[in-house]
Chain A
Amino acid sequence: MIGRTARGSSPRSPLAAPQTEPRWYPAARARVLATAALLALVAAVLTGHAALVLLGAPALGALALLPRRRPAEPTVAVTRSGSRCFEGEEVTVTATIDAASPLDEIVMELEIAPQASLAGASPRTQTFLRAGRASARWVIRPDRWGRYSPGTVRLTGRAGALHTSRRIELDPLEVFPRPNRMRPRWVPAELLRRIGEHTGRAVGEGVEFAGIRPYQPGDPLRDVNRAVSIRRGQLHVNQRSAARAADLVVMIDAFGDSGPISERTLDLAVHGAAALVTAYLRVSDRVGLVVLGGLLRWLGPAAGDRQFYRVAEMMLAARYESFVTPDVGRIPRTALPPGTLVVVFSPLLDPRGFGAIADLRQRGFPLIVVDTLRDEPPPGTRTDARLALRLWRLDRTATRTRLQALGIPVLHWDSDTELDTVLAPLRQPPPGARRLAGSRP
């Protein structure tokens, strides 16, 4: 359980000196009542009109009635139902305040981060009257992947003329991108010597028909092809392709300045990578991740659900601004095994990303590039602005052409299109890759 109590030391500064300032301070009600009474008294004195005291007398009476005894320090606890979730999933936040003596008013308010929204019927602000122990519950829905605090809980308590307030920022939540369903359409030409679900070129114990050969002692009788055996007058058996696993490495080009366009391209890349990783892991393939962006970070291919979470955690830290040019040659063979199919999500804006892609291709990796840029510069009204836009488009076309000349297919990911649809029209596989049997464009 992730909980916070208002007693003790801060986790950010565990060695900080104990807080000596009082936590209770005059409530706003006491201040305005006293100020109104004082204003009336001053007006009475200055004008010499004693009846003006009547303006402040009720406020003074109410102020005198407010208790001034300092209550004991309340205990505050904020808990969450989980520390990680997928986009759109609901997380419950519970705030509890426990006071030794009942407080006149307890107000609990949740200030939600812009990446999240409030779900359920619970109001953002919840008020309790004359309560010693109160608990508020909110259901929040993180709308965007990332590692961020989903909000801040503000707790306010009033006891007579005194008032206390706490502001507790929730611990960061790991929100994983929600992967869309898709099929693993492409596999490298050379599959692993590991049992999987793809039809390999080698003969083995799979289910796909691979050929016919004469019977040899030891062959199971259920493999005998009766039609061919009768026609040739000699026993023949069917051969089947081996079912093998594949290696896939997803590469995210995270170069670029921070800004809305860069965020959108990265958002698209992360969602595409999540969909690919999920699709290949589902069929027992091994999947890895390489993030190009400043420091080169990679995760070697592995299989299983655990690998998905490792990949997702690395994607959460994909944005890392740097001027360093990555050296893909530094990626070890364990992270990028030879012959691995590499799918690159890139906006093709930064020359460092282009260089890394070309370098990988020259090292013989089968590559597919998915262009994640959906924005264009504003066209403008002036002639030179329109000319600049045309030059920009020409430059983009030249970049794509150069990649295609290297044998790298470049697919553009349009709006309102799923990645499965983007990859479907790729009729000609990239060198070193092949289309999976049964997946027709």
Chain B
Amino acid sequence: MSPEPSPSRVPVMSGAAVALGLLTVAWPLAWAPGWAYAVAVLGAVAVLAAALADWRQGPVIAVAAAIAACAFSRAGIAGLTAEGLFILGYLLAADAPAGLARPGSWLRQQAFGGVAGLIASGAVLAALALHQVSSAVLTVAGLAAAAGAYLVALPVVRASRRGSDIDVQ
């Protein structure tokens, strides 16, 4: 199989990731209080650091900043839905492999993730449309389930620091 063509001087996916990341951190500002601008600046710095300096924690920090701004904003359902999709798009774009100059085939692969995200958003919107009953027990149980799912889904695996097993043929 032939490799992707040589990357252009300005990687396409890197630019897309920066644009989506900045949109993600800027979107909630329309409904957020004044102090959220400082959080957004922090998120923007993380976006740029992730794209330019290959800082691996950058996308998570940027998303955390966006979620914090949203949590104290008065954004409506539509705004939050769009923000959730922006977050997904940004995280997928930031994870694009290096050396992608023609990202068409890679984007087609990500379309399944985008559709899954849309379906999940639709499901949540449908659930929110139903009558909501608040319960402390349900809240704690949900939080515990989420944390448990996180730990189960992502077991802490020590990456092998030794070199790969290698044979000389």
Taking beta carbons and an 8 Å cutoff, which residues of A are in contact with B?
A: 1-12, 19, 21-23, 25-26, 28-43, 45-66, 76-77, 104-105, 107-109, 121-123, 125-131, 133-136, 156, 158, 161, 165-169, 171
Using known A-B contacts A50-B132, A127-B97, determine if residue A57 contacts B117 with beta carbons closer than 8 Å.
Answer: yes
Instruction: Report yes or no: B4 in contact with A45, Cβ–Cβ below 8 A.
Output: no
Instruction: Report yes or no: A56 in contact with B84, Cβ–Cβ below 8 A.
Output: yes
Instruction: Report yes or no: A64 in contact with B168, Cβ–Cβ below 8 A.
Output: no
Q: Give CA–CA (A136, B68) in the complex, Å.
A: 43
Q: Give CA–CA (A107, B13) in the complex, Å.
A: 15
Taking A52-B70, A55-B87, A108-B3 as given, write out 13 further A-B residue pairs in contact, using a Cβ cutoff of 8 Å, ordered by the A residue number.
A8-B165, A10-B162, A31-B154, A36-B63, A39-B63, A54-B124, A57-B121, A58-B118, A62-B114, A105-B97, A105-B106, A122-B6, A123-B7
Q: Give CA–CA (A107, B167) in the complex, Å.
A: 22
Interface CB pairs A-B, < 8 A, 29: A5-B169, A6-B165, A10-B166, A25-B159, A26-B153, A28-B56, A29-B91, A32-B63, A34-B150, A42-B146, A43-B68, A52-B67, A54-B81, A54-B84, A56-B87, A58-B118, A58-B121, A61-B116, A76-B164, A107-B98, A107-B99, A121-B6, A125-B7, A125-B99, A129-B4, A133-B1, A134-B3, A136-B3, A168-B163
Using known A-B contacts A21-B160, A40-B84, A129-B109, determine if residue A54 contacts B121 with beta carbons closer than 8 Å.
Answer: yes
Q: Give CA–CA (A62, B67) in the complex, Å.
A: 18
Main DSSP-derived SS at the A contact region? mixed
Q: Give CA–CA (A130, B97) in the complex, Å.
A: 13
What are the nearest 6 A-B pairs in CB distance? A61-B120, A58-B117, A8-B167, A3-B169, A62-B113, A125-B99
Instruction: Report yes or no: A57 in contact with B147, Cβ–Cβ below 8 A.
Output: no
User: B92 → chain A, closest Cβ, in Å?
Assistant: 7
**What residues on B are CB-neighbors of A161 within 8 Å?**
153
Instruction: Report yes or no: B166 in contact with A22, Cβ–Cβ below 8 A.
Output: no
Instruction: Report yes or no: A25 in contact with B95, Cβ–Cβ below 8 A.
Output: no
Instruction: Report yes or no: A59 in contact with B165, Cβ–Cβ below 8 A.
Output: no
**What residues on B are CB-neighbors of A9 within 8 Å?**
165, 167
**What residues on A are CB-neighbors of B165 within 8 Å?**
6-10, 19
Instruction: Report yes or no: B169 in contact with A57, Cβ–Cβ below 8 A.
Output: no
Q: Give CA–CA (A3, B70) in the complex, Å.
A: 54
User: A82 → chain B, closest Cβ, in Å?
Assistant: 15
User: B11 → chain A, closest Cβ, in Å?
Assistant: 10
Chain A residue nearest to B100 (CB atoms) is A127
**What residues on B are CB-neighbors of A23 within 8 Å?**
160
User: A3 → chain B, closest Cβ, in Å?
Assistant: 4
- Quick one: which of B76-113 are within 8 Å of A by CB? 77, 80-81, 83-85, 87-88, 91-92, 94-95, 97-100, 105-106, 109, 112-113
**What residues on A are CB-neighbors of B162 within 8 Å?**
10, 19
User: B53 → chain A, closest Cβ, in Å?
Assistant: 16
B38 interfacial by beta-carbon distance below 8 Å: no
Chain B residue nearest to A123 (CB atoms) is B6
B60 interfacial by beta-carbon distance below 8 Å: yes
**What residues on A are CB-neighbors of B159 within 8 Å?**
25, 165
B71 interfacial by beta-carbon distance below 8 Å: yes
B59 interfacial by beta-carbon distance below 8 Å: yes
Instruction: Report yes or no: A43 in contact with B67, Cβ–Cβ below 8 A.
Output: yes
Which of B56, B77, B98 has the most chain A CB within a 10 Å cutoff? B98
Q: Give CA–CA (A53, B134) in the complex, Å.
A: 15
**What residues on A are CB-neighbors of B116 within 8 Å?**
58, 61-62, 64-65
**What residues on B are CB-neighbors of A30 within 8 Å?**
153-154
Instruction: Report yes or no: B3 in contact with A127, Cβ–Cβ below 8 A.
Output: yes
**What residues on B are CB-neighbors of A108 within 8 Å?**
3
Using known A-B contacts A6-B164, A36-B63, A127-B4, determine if residue A57 contacts B124 with beta carbons closer than 8 Å.
Answer: yes
**What residues on B are CB-neighbors of A4 within 8 Å?**
166-169
User: A244 → chain B, closest Cβ, in Å?
Assistant: 47
Q: Give CA–CA (A171, B169) in the complex, Å.
A: 12
Q: Which of B113, B119, B146, B153 contacts A41 (CB 8 A)?
A: B146
Instruction: Report yes or no: B95 in contact with A32, Cβ–Cβ below 8 A.
Output: yes
Chain B residue nearest to A58 (CB atoms) is B117
B52 interfacial by beta-carbon distance below 8 Å: no
User: A27 → chain B, closest Cβ, in Å?
Assistant: 8
User: B145 → chain A, closest Cβ, in Å?
Assistant: 9
B10 interfacial by beta-carbon distance below 8 Å: no
Instruction: Report yes or no: A62 in contact with B4, Cβ–Cβ below 8 A.
Output: no
Q: Give CA–CA (A33, B94) in the complex, Å.
A: 11
Using known A-B contacts A9-B165, A166-B164, determine if residue A127 contacts B67 with beta carbons closer than 8 Å.
Answer: no
